[in-house]
Structure 1
């Protein structure tokens, strides 16, 4: 194919993507309004709309409001043309959701576990994916992909290089899943996915510069800088749970000493609570939340202690990035009631006064679903972009 034809195809695909994006954002909308919003001429819009209708990504809906002449036919996005499966793989849980192409959750499943090997976790992953597939409604495009958020560093090709709290190293889960399910697979760091989920669907809709702090068994961070997810040079940004806050501190699973996640995470909370005689060996975060709910002072103090340590690391993040917003997510976000005061009190005392201006500290609005929703959004975007990719690969 010659260069000119290729360029024409690229322009057409970009225009088509623009028309679809406009319909998704402003649906219901008429052809004339699409032309006005996009700056494309009416003939181009009409032909691209016809293609999108043939592809069942949009549909027509009875006449809209008239502005004097004939009432226009309105176009709507067909959000149930396909579905996305997203899994948030935690160290001690697996959350799976099915969403339509607009991020609405239609199914969800969660299981909890402890100290499982890679093979055992893989078995549970397969079971959950199979279950979610069986519960997904019929649609023109079926399941457009599976995304998994993992607590570790992921290479640009989707290989899990290191997930210390799972004890995983150089795991190619992507190829394994691709072989088994034969649909597009996306593997992403769970904090990156969580940041994206909050930006699209949660507490981060308004801000351009966000640091999402995922507080689970470990701590990770996802960075949205100038409205874009920042992945770092090789995709390894956000390993913020492994910044040293105690030079001669305890040994971390990453091999370093005194890492922030040893003092401010779910694992730190449970460890401290056991030491205080509050919890038995098999107990976890949910048990401590129940105690705090019932007014147990010692349990509440455990959360407050974690809140103070969270403030230490968040203070460092603020001094480095000067964000508009910090969002605290993952399972510990459910303890907002007891974490927030201790966190804010310490922050006010420690953060440089000029960094405190125009800064919001929020807890996730999506509860524990930030990463799962973020990863399904990556899958849907990949589906919308794949036409152009397939075309370029065929050249």
Structure 2
């Protein structure tokens, strides 16, 4: 986050961020309503609205209903003022989206990955980003930034410290992409990005405390506490896929044994040998739809193991909501019942009271959209603020 001193410039940034977020959530909305929702005085709201409109970030859409006197002019956030690219790097696939400033998808791209060496993956990522950039409609700001979600630990400088499923160690990905593309780039763990996507645009919009579980080639979790992403003391929180659920279990590439993701992610497909007709979740879903018994049984087994790990996290964090995202969320028809049954049986009673388990509204796109949001939030203003939900 950008460091700024506690002067009037900071106050103005905070107020501008509050007004933008309030209008995005409640539009169409009048200046008077913005003032009431935020607690900012009408003069401050009017001045900043005028400034934001001059910068093409807000637009007036005409008069609303009058409560007596002159009809108020209603405001909209201009989501088409610019566009962002969001990319998710997985073990076997790379996917990307072009979104407007409200997270609406304009274009998509995907690419299969066989080789995982840094140079080839980076070059293919750059090619995908450039392809998506060329598809952006004309707008006042054009491409405002790029966000990337990766399956590993990332530091504050956008360096991928450790991505065991890719075999990456100390890769300065943000620096490399910014040098090549000439645009601001944000890099984060893919589960953190997915949590942001669901919090801002998906199933988590009504929650202040949630766990986002990304289940695909591995497992990660994004932790939202009081409406903010929790990253831990050094920024590495959420590596829940590497918590042990079998004390003397299978060896993991991270150096541990019995890791959750060995039993509850796509890694488990290899253990089935020829009994599964495919090794990709999208293909297995088609077989399950056709009634392939072994595929259905394996999805149910994945649901059981997912439920065991989720129980541990729920007992530790007491969230309002648990959201399951990533590629395996598309198999919810076979995973969901078993998962929820295990959590219901094993979770402490008061922890599960009023807690909901949901599947990602954005489906397998949560991380891409969340990565794009990270770029958007940097463009609109890096000051983090909390805005009332009602």
- Aligned-residue offset at 1:247: 2.2
User: Is 1:333 aligned to residue 323 of structure 2?
Assistant: no
Runs of 4+ in 1 over 4 A off after TM superposition: none
User: Is 1:7 aligned to residue 11 of structure 2?
Assistant: no
Which residue of 275, 278, 301 maps to 1:277? Answer: 275
- Aligned-residue offset at 1:299: 1.4
- Paired with 2:276 and 2:382, the residues of 1 have a C-alpha distance of 52
SS at match of 1:247: coil
Question: Could you tell me whether the CA contact under 8 Å between 1:245 and 1:313 is conserved in 2?
Answer: yes
- Aligned-residue offset at 1:211: 1.1
Instruction: Provide the alpha-carbon RMSD of the alignment.
Output: 2.0
- Aligned-residue offset at 1:137: 1.0
Q: CA offsets, 1:120-156, max 9 Å, x none? A: 2112101110100100111111111100000000112
- Aligned pair in 2 of structure 1 residues 43, 355: CA closer, same or farther (>3 Å)? closer
Give the aligned partner of residue 254 of structure 2.
254
- Paired with 1:117 and 1:362, the residues of 2 have a C-alpha distance of 35
Give the aligned partner of residue 128 of structure 2.
128
Aligned residues: 380
Give the aligned partner of residue 381 of structure 2.
385
- Paired with 2:26 and 2:198, the residues of 1 have a C-alpha distance of 21
- Aligned-residue offset at 1:23: 2.5
Give the aligned partner of residue 82 of structure 2.
82
- Paired with 2:348 and 2:40, the residues of 1 have a C-alpha distance of 49
Structure number with greater CO (CA < 8 Å, separation at least 6) is 2
* Rg larger in structure: 1
TM-score normalised over the length of structure 1: 0.90
Question: Could you tell me whether the CA contact under 8 Å between 1:272 and 1:302 is conserved in 2?
Answer: no
Question: Could you tell me whether the CA contact under 8 Å between 2:242 and 2:261 is conserved in 1?
Answer: yes
Give the gaps of 5 or more residues in structure 1. 389-395
Question: Could you tell me whether the CA contact under 8 Å between 2:149 and 2:187 is conserved in 1?
Answer: yes
- Paired with 1:253 and 1:240, the residues of 2 have a C-alpha distance of 14
Give the aligned partner of residue 195 of structure 2.
195
Question: Could you tell me whether the CA contact under 8 Å between 2:208 and 2:226 is conserved in 1?
Answer: yes
Give the aligned partner of residue 267 of structure 1.
267
Give the aligned partner of residue 56 of structure 2.
56
- Equivalent residues in 2 for 1:3-82 (5 A)? 7-82=7-82
Question: Could you tell me whether the CA contact under 8 Å between 2:115 and 2:121 is conserved in 1?
Answer: no
Q: CA offsets, 1:25-67, max 9 Å, x none? A: 3323333333344444443333222221221111222232233
- Aligned-residue offset at 1:167: 0.6
Q: CA offsets, 1:249-303, max 9 Å, x none? A: 22111111111111111111x2133x253336xx422232222111111111111
TM-score normalised over the length of structure 2: 0.92
Question: Could you tell me whether the CA contact under 8 Å between 1:331 and 1:367 is conserved in 2?
Answer: yes
- Aligned pair in 2 of structure 1 residues 347, 53: CA closer, same or farther (>3 Å)? closer
- Paired with 1:63 and 1:337, the residues of 2 have a C-alpha distance of 46
Give the gaps of 5 or more residues in structure 2. 385-390
- Aligned-residue offset at 1:77: 1.7
Give the aligned partner of residue 355 of structure 2.
359
Give the aligned partner of residue 317 of structure 2.
321
- Paired with 2:379 and 2:120, the residues of 1 have a C-alpha distance of 30
Give the aligned partner of residue 387 of structure 2.
none
Q: Which moved more, 1:13-22 or 1:202-211?
A: 13-22
Give the aligned partner of residue 109 of structure 2.
109
User: Is 1:292 aligned to residue 291 of structure 2?
Assistant: no
Q: Which moved more, 1:60-69 or 1:48-57?
A: 60-69
- Aligned-residue offset at 1:160: 0.6
